[in-house]
Structure 1
Amino acid sequence: MTNNQLGVLHALDSAKTQWYHFTAIVIAGMGFFTDAYDLFCIALITKLLGRIYYHDEKVNKPGILPPRIAAAVNGVAFCGTLAGQLFFGWLGDKLGRKRVYGLTLMLMVVCSIASGLSLGKTPEGVMATLCFFRFWLGFGIGGDYPLSATIMSEYANKKTRGAFIAAVFAMQGFGILAGGIVALIVSFAFDHAYKVDSYDVIGQMSTVPQADYIWRIILMFGAVPALLTYYWRMRMPETARYTALVARNSKQAAADMSKVLNVELNPEEEKVDKIVAVPSNSFGLFSKEFAKRHGLHLLGTTTTWFLLDIAFYSSNLFQKDIFTAIGWLPNPRFMSATHEVYRVARAQTLIALCGTVPGYWFTVALIDHIGRFTIQLIGFFFMTVFMFALAIPYHHWKTHNAGFLIMYSLTFFFANFGPNATTFVVPAEIFPARLRSTCHGISAAAGKAGAIVGSFGFLYASQSHTKPDPGYRPGIGVKNALMVLGAVNCLGFLFTFLVPESKGKSLEELTGEDEEDVRNQQTISDEKVPV
């Protein structure tokens, strides 16, 4: 503990792992469980939406969403998430983390239910309504990123802070897994309860109305975990670092943390009064001083998150297209609408079990031992290797599906035992308390810009050669897309060198706030010396 560090902050830094740490992980983590479920479940139902609303009566083949509709349905939530990350990140620094924490959750609950109730007189009307509510759902999800990360970093001790923040983010893996499981259960139930595909008198395939319930139930289920978390989220006290360093109320901070830690803490109001006498918030986000101290750090966190999300969300959202391209999923003509949802969900669940979820928890176990920087480099390096290994001999994998599945799972493992976790952790540690939520929101928004590029760009890239031409080969669009993703991961590896290591240091050491307070107190002492 430095002489100028408040006792309440030192108590948090040095606290042994206690029950409140796990409570905070679950409360914040359930938000991320919901986030992941809501963002990724859309990939499970886009084929079904095409079959229900865009069935072509003139030809005997399943309907598909037009490319522009598919891009909107898949990508609009990311646009909302980007806006929410910027807005709620800024609001979390202005009003406090807790005051806006419940608002994001209720927005997610309402919009999850509303998405499943999307109505319209035409297919375009239904899709427009769905996109509207998906945007606002994303807006609420966006707020959860900076607030959850900041709250967990400010609650944690410095020895295991990385593991705690990573554990919150690891709930994303369970959210992806839950999406696949819910889709499996719902599609299986309807597939056995109804004859969902039938043929009319001239032999054309049609889908009966009961199939419309499937996608609505899957979307609305996202409200359940969010509702279960709301009460406990509202009972959490404001973080001591915000209360003491930003709101300048060390008495309240000490009182809140005394209850949490079950110890008596000195408010140290005199020390805070000295700090307030010469405000430590001496520079803002757009100042030269911020650019000098943290400009490269912010550039590093934004670029790496941007590049990572291009690859990560492209791979997640279009698993179904990749599996179809390599022949791992049967031709839709030979599957019922609900059975197709079942097969896509089964594939996503298998990938989540084999690669996604284990990768997150490897990060939780090792991040405070080998560090954030090393894990991020390892992740980007192996993502690059496996993307190229999938792309270069792409046509070989059409007859070796098991090998493709293993390689594809490894890209998700090293995304999560790598930059998908560390890009979330580091921005919550390396910026000053008064700007922490804002800077995390900016970094996360850069990531969602990458997700938008990935979701829109990969869609068109994977469909770019679907019409026969002299050089036509099935799936060549997917191959080129995988090559691009490999190059993107390689750039992410290089930009990682802009990001500092934050292992084993207090937040005030990392941000230089200890140094500011020392200078402020020295300034006060100098002013008291008679001339």
Structure 2
Amino acid sequence: MGLKVLSALDTAKTQYYHFKAIIIAGMGLFSDAYDLFCIAPVTILLGRIYYSDHNHKFQIPAVVVSAMVAVALLGTALGQLVFGLLGDRIGRKRVYGFALILMVLSSFGCGFSICRSKTCVLLSFGFFRFLLGVGIGGDYPLSATIMSEYANKRTRGAFIAAVFSMQGIGILFSSMVTMTVCAVFDKATNASKDHHSHTMAADLAWRIILMLGAVPAAITFYWRMKMPETARYTALVEHNVVQATKDMETVLDVNMNQIMDDASSSSSQTPTLPSTYPLFSKQFLHHHGRDLFSCAATWFLLDVVFYSNNLFQSNIYKSFLPSDKEKMSAFRDAYTVARLQAIITVCAAIPGYWATVLLIDRVGRRNIQMMGFTVMAAFLFAVGVLHNAHPGDKNMGFMFLYGLTFFFSNFGPNTTTFIVPAELFPARFRATCHGISGAAGKVGAIIGSIAFLWASQDKDKSDRTVDKGIGMTGSLVILGVISLVGAVITFLFTPETMGRSLEDNEIDNNANLNNEANGLVGLKCLSC
């Protein structure tokens, strides 16, 4: 019966529960994007409150920005490793809710950062940002693994991509909340000429923006706790086929007899070969080392480029922002940045996510990833050369060209690096390997967020941080080269998983094992 449960999962028709699972799992990615992308306008408000030179530039030092970004990414990497391991050791469902609770509480903690002095607020803010990162990181391997184990093999890629696409909705929601809060506060304080009242209002505004991001995630907590454990984990890791079948009756909305009948009529009755070797053993490295290298390396390279690109937005689109920012209120300044972020999200990011949803089960993960890396490289080279040739002359064509890098990162490796690790590895290692791959990506994100931020800037004689055109151009060209390396690694090492059951990958990787011995183990584990 165990084989029939797995076959029923692979051949199940798309049902209401699949869409419900997309929303429940995707809300973690929604909160992830909200919290990570609202930091740009929040940084502007913090700069107006705590940083002002004699020229009233209100500029937060690059070292402070780098620390605020890095501390969240470090937490994310830790969360991916820890929750990925726990998801395989004690179950996906048992730790799924805890990751969401950590995200919600730390979001509120960021808003309630204690005291009002600059040092105290920033230290408290950094601490809660780290905890927030841990929760965000924990959600990555769990959401991807749960969705992959619920889905059928025909539409699995689209379902996981739909979960990941909630990031785009989160970015847009973050921008809209920021714009609304800033507009309300700007109107309320517009008549006041008191600098102290403006500062107090800005201090309240950034806290509200951060805390509102926790509300959608908190709403989904009940439904996340009501989700059953995935049948694949229950059958293949816990070896409780009866419970797995009962869970499938709820998920697939069919009774046990129907599961048995549907599975019996399926042509996919290949026995599953359960892995008996431990993680990082010689056998694991022999059968899955190449896959783990491919997933971790491509995610690492992607995040170097992706996070660097986000930091360069303010420099690339500088001519499209008001030139008299010093004369603007803090709220108008943050509003304009959030509005530009919303435009980029609607025009480039969200279409990229949904292009992947529509095409990934037709074109394939490997092809989309190679294409995305290659096209990103081409546009980064073009933007870098144009930025150097015309540093002060930006037009809508230039903005469109740069926006395409975001479209093809999402219709490309930004989505596929999230999907592939959830499909390549055995059930008992799946969340752990996804967490390792994601943590490697966050190491790349730290490099991209800090190293390239400093590489594209320099100090002038007045010790103020200024943009260096050559530094920006060189950084963009280097990012293009990194994208090409990602395309090459994808071509050489990444297998295609489209249209295959999750168990097929393990069968292929274990083909060189003693089939007779492992076949007996498989029959014993999966029979009831």
TM-score (norm 1): 0.90
Aligned to 2:399: 405
The alpha-carbon distance between structure 1 residues 29 and 435, as it changes in their structure 2 partners (threshold 3 A), is same
**Cα displacement string for residues 338-396 of structure 1 (whole angstroms, at most 9, x for unaligned residues):** 11101100111110011000000000000000100000011001110111111112042
Deviation digits for residues 147-168 of structure 1 (CA, Å, limit 9, x no counterpart)? 0000000000000000000000
> Which residue is 1:174 aligned to?
169
- Residue of structure 2 aligned with 1:454, choices 448, 453, 456: 448
Partner of 2:266: none
Distance 1:465 1:175 in 2: 35
Query: For 2:498, what is the secondary structure of its paired residue?
Result: coil
1:393 to 2:386 alignment = yes
CA distance in 2, matches of 1:501, 1:448: 24
How do 1:105-124 and structure 2 match up within 5 A? 105-124=100-119
Structure 2 residue 17 is matched with structure 1 residue 20: yes
Give the conservation status (yes or no) of the 8 Å contact 1:115–1:133.
yes
Matched, 1:32 2:29: yes
- CA pair 214-430 structure 1, distance change in 2 beyond 3 A: same
Aligned counterparts of 2:461 and 2:197: Cα–Cα separation in 1: 25
Q: Do residues 506 (structure 1) and 506 (structure 2) align?
A: no
Residue pair 1:111, 1:134 contacting (<8 A) in 2 also: yes
Which residue does the alignment assign to 1:75?
70
2:366 pairs with 1:340: no
Specify the code of the residue in structure 1 equivalent to 2:429.
Answer: L
Higher mean alpha-carbon deviation, 478-487 vs 302-311, is at: 478-487
Is residue 124 of structure 2 the alignment partner of residue 129 of structure 1? Answer: yes
The Cα of 1:54 is off from its aligned counterpart by 1.3
- Which residue of 2 is the match for residue 323 of structure 1? 317
Match of 2:135 among 136, 140, 149: 140
Query: 1:323–1:329: 8 Å Cα contact kept in structure 2?
Result: no
2:256 alignment partner in structure 1:
265
Contact map agreement 2:2 2:235 (CA 8 A) in 1: no
1:196/1:208 contact within 8 Å kept: no
**Maintained 8 Å contact 1:196/1:210:** no
**Match of 1:358?**
351
- Give me the whole-angstrom Cα distance separating, in 2, the residues matched to 1:312 and 1:66: 22
- Determine the C-alpha separation between the residues in 1 that align with 2:387 and 2:356: 30
Q: CA RMSD in A?
A: 2.6
Assess if the C-alpha contact under 8 Å between 1:71 and 1:455 holds in 2: yes
Tell me, yes or no, if the aligned pair for 2:106 and 2:128 is still in contact at 8 Å.
yes
Per-residue deviation at 1:31?
Answer: 1.1
CA-to-partner distance for each residue in 1:197-255, whole Å, 9 max, x for gaps?
A: 9588xxxx995321112211111111111111100000000000000000010010011
Distance 1:197 1:437, change over 3 A: farther
Does the residue aligned with 1:208 lie in a helix, a strand or coil?
A: helix
SS at match of 2:152: coil
Does the 8 A contact of 1:372 with 1:426 survive in 2? Answer: yes
**Residues 96 and 524 of structure 1: is their aligned pair in 2 closer, same or farther, counting only changes over 3 Å?**
closer
| Mapped contact 2:391–2:469 kept (Cα < 8 A) | no
CA contact (8 A) 1:83 1:139 kept: yes
Of 6, 11, 23, which aligns to 1:9? 6
| Partner deviation per Cα, 1:452-479 (whole Å, 9 max, x = no partner) | 111112321232255589xx98543322
- CA distance in 2 between partners of 1:28 and 1:259 (Å): 17
Match of 2:93 among 90, 98, 122: 98
Question: 1:119: how far off?
Answer: 2.5
C-alpha distance in structure 1 between counterparts of 2:410 and 2:521, whole Å: 47
- In 2: Cα distance, 1:408 partner to 1:188 partner: 28
Q: Following the alignment from structure 2 to structure 1, what is the Cα–Cα distance between the partners of residues 478 and 485?
A: 11
Alpha-carbon spacing, 1:519–1:36, altered in 2? closer, same or farther (3 Å): farther
Aligned to 1:237: 228
Distance change >3 Å, CA 300–CA 50, structure 1 → 2: same
Q: Distance in 2 between the 1:198 and 1:461 partners?
A: 40
Q: Deviations over 1:75-130 (max 9, x none)?
A: 21111000000000000000000000000000011000110111235212111110
TM-score by length of 2: 0.90
Aligned pairs (5 A) from 1:376-391:
376-391=369-384
Is 1:372 paired with 2:361? no
Long gaps (5+) in structure 1? 269-277
Give the superposition deviation at 1:174.
0.7
State the distance in 2 between where 1:526 and 1:437 align. Answer: 24
Deviations 1:394-416 (A, max 9, x none): 04263233122101210000000
Question: Which aligned pairs between 1:486-525 and structure 2 lie closer than 5 A?
Answer: 486-497=480-491, 498-512=493-507, 519-520=516-517, 522-523=519-520
Which deviates further from its counterpart, 38-47 or 505-514? 505-514
Q: Which amino acid aligns with 2:343?
A: L
Aligned length: 506
Distance change (3 Å), C-alpha of 1:346 and 1:526? closer
Once residues 516 and 309 of structure 2 are traced to their aligned partners in structure 1, the CA distance between those partners, rounded to angstroms, is 49
C-alpha spacing 1:187/1:475, structure 2 compared with 1 (3 Å): farther
CA distance 1:160–1:397, shift in 2 (3 Å) = farther
Q: Letter of the aligned partner of 2:316 in structure 1? A: I
Q: Measured at CA, do residues 196 and 279 of structure 1 come closer, stay the same or move farther in structure 2, by a change above 3 Å?
A: farther
Give the distance between the partners of 2:101 and 2:208, measured in 1 at CA: 19
- Structure 1 residue 522: Cα displacement: 4.4
Amino acid at match of 1:41: C
- Alignment-mate amino acid for residue 152 of structure 2: N
In structure 2, the CA distance between the partners of 1:341 and 1:244, relative to structure 1 (3 Å rule), is: same
- Contact 2:82–2:138 (CA<8 Å) still a contact in 1? yes
Tell which deviates more after alignment, 131-140 or 259-268.
Answer: 259-268
1:368–1:72 Cα change, 3 Å: same
- Alpha-carbon deviation of 1:521? 6.0
Partner of 2:205: 214
SS at match of 2:392: helix
Work out whether residues 458 and 467 of structure 2, in 8 Å CA contact, stay in contact via their aligned partners in 1.
Answer: no
- 1:464 match: secondary structure: strand
CA change 1:260–1:525 in 2 (3 A) is closer
Q: Which amino acid aligns with 2:213?
A: G
Say yes or no: does 1:55 pair with 2:49: no
Q: Relative to structure 1, is the Cα distance of residues 154 and 55 closer, same or farther in structure 2, using a 3 angstrom cutoff?
A: same
Q: Which residue of 2 aligns with 1:248?
A: 239
* Corresponding residue of 2:285: 291
Aligned to 1:436: 430
Structure 1's 376 and 468: CA in aligned 2 closer, same or farther, altered over 3 A?
farther
Identify the range of structure 1 (397-406 vs 413-422) with the bigger mean alpha-carbon deviation.
Answer: 397-406
